Amino acid sequence: MIKKVIIEENFSKHAWDYDQHSKVQNFCASTLIERVKGKSFSKILDIGCGTGNYTKLLREKFSKAKIVAIDISSEMIKVAKKKLEDKEIEFIVADAQEFRLEEEFDLISSNASFQWFQDLKLDLIKYREALSAGGTILFSTFGPETFFQLHSCLKEFLNKPVAISASNFLKRAEIERILKDIFKEVSVREEIYNQEYDSLLELLENLRCTGTRGDGLRGEIFWTSRRIAQIEKIYKKRFSAEGGKSIVATYQMLFCRGNK
């Protein structure tokens, strides 16, 4: 089970470096905002707002809406507040899974955070209750095929099964089933995004600074320079980009909607 305290520590520790490494998350946010179509929303809840990049897109699209943005990391909230200090957004430091919602929203949205939730069905039931009649939940999340290349190379290097955090992410079919149990109208769209990195070290640094590593491979591997070089050799042999000078990491993105 992914431990929230480790997730929070990872995000807080690197909050002020996050935006330098969040190309994938920003692509995810821009794709998600494009799916907010056909309806104007007046009260919006942004869950797992991070440094506020997706929150900014929501504000730009719904200039008159009340927006409440929640994140578990106080440092992330500090960055978001500084970035959006003149945008009239209410920021709250809280665990969105435990936070008691006292009002209704006609849009509850989240970019790339629900993969860290321990019981998505229970949380979606709670969020449904916080939606006004006819309200919408719209979110993006990463699927278990994310970083499949790294997962495969670690298994080969260690010569045994390993479980990276992405191994615990819910499959598309599971999310679709959960949504259908809770909401009237449901859609789940998958998009594969491949990002090139010059080295395994660059990929690991990106994971470290964006919190995407989750609670990591605790107890599985001690990351020495020699081991990184050995694993990179396996990675480049199996998953090099065209030309063989860089490596490819896959992000499986799931864009999900449910209407109350």
Mean pLDDT across 116-129: 94
Domain housing 61: 4-259
Residue 105, classed as helix, strand or coil, is: strand
User: Crossing angle, helix 148-158 and helix 225-239, to 10 degrees?
Assistant: 120
Mean pLDDT across 75-100: 94
What is the C-alpha separation between 142 and 115, in angstroms, rounded? 6
What is the C-alpha separation between 37 and 255, in angstroms, rounded? 14
Lookup: tokens for 123: 């949380």
Confidence of residue 1 (pLDDT cuts 50, 70, 90): very low
Percent residues over pLDDT 90 in the chain: 73
| CA–CA distances in Å: residue 223 to residues 27, 61, 155 | 29, 43, 15
Longest CA pairwise span in the chain (Å): 57
Q: Using alpha carbons, select from 148, 130, 68, 123 the residue that is nearest to residue 260.
A: 130
Mean pLDDT across 192-220: 79
Residue 112, classed as helix, strand or coil, is: coil
Lookup: tokens for 146: 């994310």
Contacts of 14 (CB under 8 A, 6+ apart): 208, 209, 210, 211
CATH code for position 63? 3.40.50.150
Mean pLDDT across 3-27: 78
Flag whether pLDDT at 217 surpasses 60: no
Q: How many domains does the chain have?
A: 1
Flag whether pLDDT at 15 surpasses 60: yes
Flag whether pLDDT at 189 surpasses 60: yes
Flag whether pLDDT at 114 surpasses 80: yes
Mean pLDDT across 3-13: 67
pLDDT of residue 9: 67
Mean pLDDT across 170-190: 97
Q: What is the chain's Cα-based Rg?
A: 19
What is the C-alpha separation between 55 and 60, in angstroms, rounded? 9
Q: What is the mean pLDDT of the chain?
A: 90
pTM: predicted TM-score of the whole model, two decimal places: 0.91
